Each structure stands twice: as C-alpha cells, then as structure tokens.
Amino acid sequence: MSNIPQELRFTKSHEWVKREEDGTLVIGITDHAQQLLGDLVFVEVPEAGSSFKDSDDCAVIESVKAASDVYCPVAGEVIESNEALADAPETINNDPYGDGWIFKLKPEDEGAYDGLMDADAYAEVVAEDEH
Amino acid sequence: MGNRTPLYEEHLRANAKMVDFGGWDMPINYGSQIEEHNQVRQDAGMFDVSHMTIVDLSGDKVKPFLQYLLANNVDRLKDKGKALYTCMLNEQGGVIDDLIVYYLGETFYRMVVNAATREKDLAWIEKHAAAYDVTVNVRDDMAMIAVQGPNARDKAHKVLGVAIADQLVDIKPFFMREMGDVIVARTGYTGEDGYEIMLPANQAPGTWRQLVEAGVKPTGLGARDTLRLEAGMNLYGHDMDENTTPLESGLSWTVAWEPEDRDFIGRAALARQKSEGVKRKLVGLVLEDRGVLRDHQKVIVDGEEAGEITSGSFSPTLGKSIAFARVPASVGTHCQVDVRGKLLNARVVKLSFVRNGKPCIDV
C-alpha cells in the first residue's frame, strides 16, 4: 500500500506538489511511483533558472529496470534543484515526500496549484493502477 | 495468465512482483532488486528457474547426434556428470539458443535450454534427432532452483541432508551429481559459486521453504539479469540471436574447431566468417559519465555510429552503469554512447566485470 499524504497535491503522472508559504512549489515523485520504478540509480534534476510549461518533461529518473521522465506539474521557473540526489538517488526510494524532493518551482500562475488533484483523487488513480 | 512454475505460490507468499517472462509468470523482485543482487554477491540467494526447459536425450547414437547439433564438442565430456556450455546454431551460423549439456552416460545426455526459445528449440532438436534414432524427453515433471552466492553451498547442504551433502563436498565446478531423483549441478548464471538443483516438481515448494529457513533469500529475475551482466555472461535474444554468430558474440571459446572433420550445423558458415575476418565483436562498456546504459542505445566510435548496446544496466557492485555492446572489431579503448540524446563517454573493457564478489576491472 502506498502512502498518499493528505496535505499534498498530485498529477496523473505521479508527481506530488507541496505549496510553501511564499507560494513556491516543491515537487517530487510519489511513493507509488518509486515503488513502480524500483531501486533508483540515477537522477538528472532540472537546472535552476530553466523554465517549463505545464507537462513538459523536466527531469529524468532511472531505476535498475528503466528510465522515466518527470513532468512539470504547472508552468514556471525552477528556482532550486535537489543536487544531493546525484550521489544518492535512493533517497527518493527511502523518503519520496521528504529528502527525496526533486526541484522547487516558482509558478507562472499561483492559481494553477488549485487545479491539481487532491489526495483522494490521486488515491483513485493509484487504485486503478493497481488493478 | 501465463504459465506457472511449481513455485508460483511461494513467490506470491514472499510478496514478489510478478511479470511475464517468455510466457511465464515470474518474480522480477521481492522488494529491492539491489538488495537481492547484493545478497547473492555477499551471502546466498536463490532463483526459481523452473521455467527453463530440461530435455533428456537418449539412444545409441546420441553422442554423434550432439556432435552434429552443437557447436561445442560433447566429446570433451569424459567424466559422468560433466557439463558443457554451447551454442546450437542454424546453417548460417546464427545462434538458435545457448544451453548447457550434461554427460550422464554414453547413451544419455541432458540439456537445459532457455524458456523463451523452448518451442523452436524442441522443433529443431526433434527435426535432427530423427536421423539418429534419438529419443527426446522433455522433463516438465521437474523443477529447478538455482542457489547462488559464497555461502550458497553450505546452506544448501544443510537443507539437502547429510546423505546428499556428503556426495557434494568434493563436487567440482561444472559437474552434476545424481542422487535418487534429486540432481545437483555446480553451475549458475551469477559469477558466484553455487548449485542448480533439479528436483521433482512436487518437492520444489518444500525445498524452497527449507532454503528460506536456512537463510537463502528469494531473488528475482531483475537481480539475475544484473548479476549475469556483471559476470559477463550472455543473455539469449539480447547479446546473440539467429542473426549473429558466436564469433561476433564473445562466444568463440564455445566453438570447437578440432577435430577438423567434425561436421556440425553452422560450421561451414562460421569457417567462412573466420577466414574473411570477423568484423564485429562483443565488448564490455563502463560508463564514465553519469547515466544508465540501456539495450539498443547507439555506440559512437570516432564520431560515427558504429554499434549498439545489447545489454545495459546499472552494476550494484561497481556503482556504475555497465553494458555489453557489439562494435567493430577495430574498436579502441574508449567510445561514446547516445544516451537519451546526449553523447556520454564509456570505456571499452574485456568481459567480465565482477567474479566471486570482486571487481575484475579498475573503476
């Protein structure tokens, strides 16, 4: 069973999004996603300063099994990336919602966050996946 | 639903993630592939390999039959129980399958062939067996468990009991011993010491559970792949197939050219390729940049596309990505690989990467 924190927002492609007090968004991949991928061995984070549109692929994570893209949940500019993941990609397996965060984004439109799925809606996506 | 081995329920009980593998429902991992990989390198792990096909061949002319069917020469097998790794070729020298053949007597040999190639292998074997009056008996009544790792033999001895263990103490690598209806071979596909145990299907779940109790951890096909990759062992359908010969697949050592008058299927084609010069070879690659090498990525030599990765993954033992690649025979010590649109640097090395828990290359 995967962990889906109530206070986060989610995408169908299994990213989670957390809104900080200043409106910055912290983004990572969900517990369900890391379980599907298995042991992660490589993470390529987006460069700070780069801009992405909604659903652009902006990071790469690779497990022993396969490579997978991470998609930008909403349009915005990357203000910080989790450089520690380069040497410790397994952090995402061990702590997907904490130290395993991937990047921080300044959204173009602050309201875009509210359009993302809540935990209950994402739980349904996961339940369908597991069937 | 795919085919199920006699150990299917054991996999579910151990929370295996099941996937389709050549028509079989098999465990890819039981949690962490890397932990499973490491436990085989450091202690003992076991694989359900019951999906592989065991074929018994018997008859007065079984030896000349196998000398014609296989590129390696079963005449090298002088002692009962000795095993030989070989390719079975088509007339063009392409590899139909790679397999292990065991010598059990002048009129009795056993082969273990791949699961995914089962039907075409059996059709090919039966087609040629007729002329030699060889009886082909597929042993679907048997299961196979591979127990691998530095502590694998000790732990297996405890489970198999004193009577069997006594007969295994001095078993040499690449030999098998038959003890009633249990057959134990000191072979494997990981680069570690260990056994492949063939036993009646109905005994397999009990033996599996006893091995678990003895500290042998279930290990999935995911770790099996990274273990064999580190060990420099080819995987059929990736590193060689019907369109490649053993000479361009790192398997020249399995082709027995002597005696010169032994005619085997594919010999003429191989001899022609050899005399014209083999233009491609299989090498090992170690990725020097960050990233992961994967099957079918393009290899670039001197700025030009020159070859392809046949098997690529991450090596848990080396902490780097490694691969096999088929490249021009003239390749130097370095190349580049197109990894998701980026050219990354790789070093060309001789296979293998890891044996008996230790790196074979500088990292």
> What band does B342 get if pLDDT is binned at 50, 70 and 90?
very high
Check if the beta carbon of residue B216 is closer than 8 Å to that of residue B156.
yes
Domain locations along chain B: 1-277, 279-363
Do A42 and B314 make contact, defined as CB atoms within 8 angstroms?
yes
Q: Measured on CA atoms in the order B70, B311, B12, B357, is the torsion positive or negative?
A: positive
The pLDDT tens digits of the residues spanning B52-100 come to 999 999 999 999 999 999 999 999 999 999 999 999 999 999 999 999 9
The pLDDT tens digits of the residues spanning B234-290 come to 999 999 999 999 999 999 999 999 999 999 999 999 999 999 999 999 999 999 999
Contact with chain A for residue B321, Cβ under 8 A: yes
- B143: distance to nearest CA of chain A, Å? 27
- The length of chain B, given as a count of residues: 363
Percent over 90 (pLDDT), chain A: 93
- Contacting residues of A for B321, CB less than 8 Å apart: 41-42
Mean of the per-residue pLDDT values of chain B? 96
Check if the beta carbon of residue B88 is closer than 8 Å to that of residue B99.
yes
Q: Which of B18, B34, B309 to mutate to test the interface with A (most CBs of A within 10 A)?
A: B34
Mean pLDDT across A52-79 = 95
Q: Which of B17, B33, B36 to mutate to test the interface with A (most CBs of A within 10 A)?
A: B33
Mean pLDDT across A52-69 = 94
> What band does A131 get if pLDDT is binned at 50, 70 and 90?
low
Contact with chain A for residue B316, Cβ under 8 A: yes
Do B340 and A67 make contact, defined as CB atoms within 8 angstroms?
yes
> What band does B1 get if pLDDT is binned at 50, 70 and 90?
confident
Q: Which fold has domain A9-117?
A: OB fold (Dihydrolipoamide Acetyltransferase, E2P) (2.40.50)
Mean pLDDT across A36-54 = 95
Domain locations along chain A: 9-117
Do A38 and B32 make contact, defined as CB atoms within 8 angstroms?
yes
Q: Which residue of A has its CA nearest to B311?
A: A65
Mean pLDDT across A92-98 = 97
Q: Which two tokens stand for residue B313?
A: 């993954």
Q: Which two tokens stand for residue A55?
A: 């659903």
Check if the beta carbon of residue B1 is closer than 8 Å to that of residue B195.
no
Res B95: pLDDT:
98
Q: Which two tokens stand for residue A29?
A: 């991949």
Res B253: pLDDT:
97
Q: Which residue of A has its CA nearest to B294?
A: A66
Question: What ipTM was predicted for this assembly?
Answer: 0.86
Check if the beta carbon of residue B293 is closer than 8 Å to that of residue B345.
no
Res A40: pLDDT:
96
Mean of the per-residue pLDDT values of chain A? 95
CA–centroid distance for B169 within its chain: 24
Give the gyration radius of chain A's Cα atoms. 14
CA distance A109 to A95: 29
- On whether the B279-363 domain is CATH 2.40.30.110, my answer is yes
Mean pLDDT across B104-124 = 96
Name residues whose C-beta falls within 8 Å of residue B358's C-beta, 6 or more positions apart in sequence: none
Percent over 90 (pLDDT), chain B: 98
Contact with chain A for residue B201, Cβ under 8 A: no
Q: Name which of B226, B290, B291 is nearest A64 (Cβ-Cβ).
A: B226
Do A64 and B222 make contact, defined as CB atoms within 8 angstroms?
yes
Check if the beta carbon of residue A30 is closer than 8 Å to that of residue A93.
no
Q: Which residue of B has its CA nearest to A36?
A: B17
* Domain range B1-277, its CATH number among 3.30.1360.120, 3.90.220.20, 3.40.30.10, 3.40.50.150: 3.30.1360.120
Is the pLDDT confidence value at A118 over 90? yes
Q: Name which of B33, B290, B294 is nearest A38 (Cβ-Cβ).
A: B33
Do A64 and B33 make contact, defined as CB atoms within 8 angstroms?
yes
> What band does A33 get if pLDDT is binned at 50, 70 and 90?
very high
The pLDDT tens digits of the residues spanning B118-155 come to 999 999 999 999 999 999 999 999 999 999 999 999 99
Mean pLDDT across B163-170 = 94
B260 a known binding residue?
no
Peptide bond into B205 cis (omega under 30): no
Pairing of strands B217-218, B45-48: parallel
Q: Name which of B34, B290, B340 is nearest A64 (Cβ-Cβ).
A: B34
